[in-house]
Amino acid sequence: MAEKTPFKLVANNKKAYHDYFIEEKYECGIELFGTEVKSIRMGKCSIKEAYVSVSGGEAYIEGMNISPYEKGNIFNREPLRRRRLLLHKSEILRLQGQVQAKGYTVMPLQVYFKRGLVKVEIGLARGKKLYDKRDDLRKKAIRRETEREFRGQLKL
């Protein structure tokens, strides 16, 4: 029986699910310095404006905000610096091909700790049109309404 490894969620990008269709997901490590890891452990991380770029055979996350660690003084790094993602070469080449050929975007979806290591879940995303967003909101409202009615029937 495979035991699911617990992970501690630090940051979630709900906006990505609203604005994009997520086609594929990848779990990757991220190259960080000590004070950045301590700051993430305190929950001071945001990926709302972040995106992933692939250049020179490497993947980078840009726009990810990790607030400076209070006790880090001279060891703190720039909060919005470009950070390298740790992916296999085949995954990087697949992402690069999809982005160039089909016009996909690579978005960070979650930042979490797994077995003491900082992991980032990235997704190959295709942009939604306005009518797709409306359709999703409509489905969500219908599902919420049916759950409400079902709970009402259980109480009788």
Q: What is the pTM of this model?
A: 0.75
Tokens of 32: 């960080």
pLDDT 10s digits, 16-74: 888 888 888 999 999 888 888 888 888 888 888 888 888 888 999 998 888 887 776 76
Q: Can you tell me the mean pLDDT for 103-108?
A: 86
Dist CA 41 CA 2 (whole Å): 27
For 58, list phi and psi in degrees, rounded to 5: -135, 155
Higher-confidence position of 146 and 128: 146
Supply the DSSP symbol for 63: S
Burial class (CB in 10 A: 0-12, 13-18, 19+), 95: buried
The class level of CATH for 7-128 reads mainly beta
Report the 10 Å Cβ neighbour count for 70.
12
Domain map (residue ranges) of the chain: 7-128
pLDDT 10s digits, 116-137: 888 999 998 888 777 777 888 8
